[in-house]
């Protein structure tokens, strides 16, 4: 491999933090449905009286909360790489930077970068502030007097119970549960 004089050697170093080069998120369109996906690392897991859940670190500083009923057991642990899917139907867009919905929901500030039209209505592509990924959601934008346009600032709000974790990486070999018969 020929590295030019303008290529920094640390980009090819085995000690370079490889996670920065991974794609953090995107959207898949199948027919008329749109599903956003985002990858991250499980930071913590909790179990309450009615629900269990995880907090996932995504990108530079974003946290994603995912919850599910206690009856739905999941084999997820701290440090695990996961991919969460968020249907575009559950992405709620709110005008401005003021909070209008429940405080325990996932909430990020973003900017509309594209407005598309589909069979389901207007589809807004929103870049999350400070992150390298976008999320797609259907209109209308709650609290807006006019339809959203490019560069409008919006709140992206998602109910943690509407997010799914269909893809979870395997437990590293050094964290595998072993059977010890003493």
pLDDT digits (tens, 9 = 90+) for 101-112: 667 899 999 999
Q: Do 40 and 84 touch, CB atoms closer than 8 A? A: yes
CB neighbours of residue 55 within 10 Å = 16
User: Tokens standing for 182?
Assistant: 């003493």
| Cis peptide bond prior to 23, omega within 30° of 0 | no
The chain-wide mean pLDDT, for the chain, equals 81
pTM: 0.77
Q: Do 107 and 157 touch, CB atoms closer than 8 A? A: yes
How many Å apart are CA 49 and CA 69, to the nearest integer?
10
Quick check: helix, strand or coil at residue 161?
Answer: helix
Q: Do 155 and 97 touch, CB atoms closer than 8 A? A: yes
Q: Domain boundaries in the chain? A: 19-170
Tens digits of residue pLDDT in 23-65 = 678 888 877 789 999 999 999 999 999 999 999 999 888 899 9
């Amino acid at each position: 491999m020929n590295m030019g004089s303008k290529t920094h050697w640390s980009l090819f170093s085995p000690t370079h933090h490889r996670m920065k080069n991974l794609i953090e998120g995107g959207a898949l369109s199948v027919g008329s449905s749109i599903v956003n996906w985002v990858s991250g690392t499980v930071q913590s897991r909790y179990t309450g009286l009615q629900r269990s859940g995880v907090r996932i670190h995504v990108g530079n500083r974003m946290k994603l909360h995912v919850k599910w009923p206690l009856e739905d057991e999941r084999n997820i642990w701290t440090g695990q790489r996961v991919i969460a899917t968020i249907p575009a139907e559950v992405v709620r867009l709110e005008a401005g930077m003021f909070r209008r919905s429940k405080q325990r929901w996932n909430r990020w500030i973003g900017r509309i970068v594209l407005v598309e039209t589909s069979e389901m209505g207007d589809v807004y592509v929103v870049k999350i502030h400070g992150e390298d990924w976008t999320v797609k959601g259907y209109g209308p934008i709650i609290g807006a007097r006019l339809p959203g346009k490019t560069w409008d600032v919006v709140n992206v709000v998602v109910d943690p119970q509407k997010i799914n974790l269909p893809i979870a990486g395997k437990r590293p070999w050094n964290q595998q549960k072993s059977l010890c018969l003493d």
